[in-house]
Amino acid sequence: MARCFVTRELPGGAIERLRAEHEVEVWSERLPPSPDELRARTRAAEGLLCLLTDRVDRELIGAAADLRVISNYAVGSDNVDLDAAAERGIPVGITPDVLTEATADMAFALLLAAARRVVEADAEARRGEWVTWEPARLLGRDVHGRTLGIVGHGRIGRAMAHRARGFDMDVVHSSRSGGVPLETLLESSDFVSIHLPLTPATRGLIGEPELRRMRPWAVLVNTARGAIVDTAALVRALREGWIGAAGVDVMEPEPPPADHPLLAAPNLTIAPHIASATHAARERMADLAVDNLLAGLAGRPLPAAAQSG
């Protein structure tokens, strides 16, 4: 029986499956453990099930002498030092596939909400400003028949394209596997949706030059990782009208401080990283995360292992 530390309560019954085979400690507070607390709780652990908000760095991995497997409750692994784990022979698990449809749903919801100014309209109605029907009030942008540019053409990007075709949208993509150059996509799209992992190559990929290439009415949607977009440039783009609007489920940093300038930017629809937040998706994530942990502790290949590099 191995010692496991789980950094948050998870939906569904996956943790009970883990408890049936191993000794499990679950962090019970709403906020994540501090870096010092995380290191202290992981020091004697053989299995770690962590969240994307937990920084599993070289120092933590080096201090956990008994650690044999890391299972990340996320589709990506940018919060884990994969090189440090590989040097120790520690496999790292992730939870891809199970949140594809939920994330694509959220991306399209943000696209629609930003295009049609849904959040702004809701706020006006609740403030009692709905006093009459006005022909020029709260005009938004058509989605049907417009062009959607998808940056990244993996599982979620393809699911987003499938939804767009239901709106008779023209879909173009830019990715390592093909499509059009990013510059062409930005210049020709009415909506741009980002579906990339965060890597050294994608960090800051969408900055001032890229935002200035976009159409002045275009909508940027990001449900991937906040750091793929230069936040300061996005704030300027919204304030100065380089683009029409943005819908984001991710930011840099997360959570943002209350005075973060992006929170005060105009024409922004924002959600607190909830793209995968459906009952089914989050429970499937928990099941896969526990499956990864159980496999690693048993010396078997992980069902879904992260790849370094």
Neighbours of 219 (CB within 10 A): 29
Whether 254 is catalytic: yes
Residues 53 and 31 sit within 8 Å (Cβ to Cβ):
no
Whether 153 is catalytic: no
List for the chain the helix, strand, coil content (%; round to 5): 35, 15, 45
Nearest CA to 68 out of 82, 53, 85, 52 is that of 85
Q: Which of 225, 252, 282, 284 is catalytic?
A: 225
Helix axes 155-165, 100-115, angle to 10 degrees: 50
Run of H or E residues at 279: helix 279-297
Q: Which of 239, 240, 254, 300 is catalytic?
A: 254
Q: Which of 8, 153, 213, 273 is catalytic?
A: 273
What's the chain's length in residues?
309
Distance CA 74, CA 53 (A): 10
Whether 9 is catalytic: no
Question: Annotated catalytic sites, by residue?
Answer: 225, 254, 273
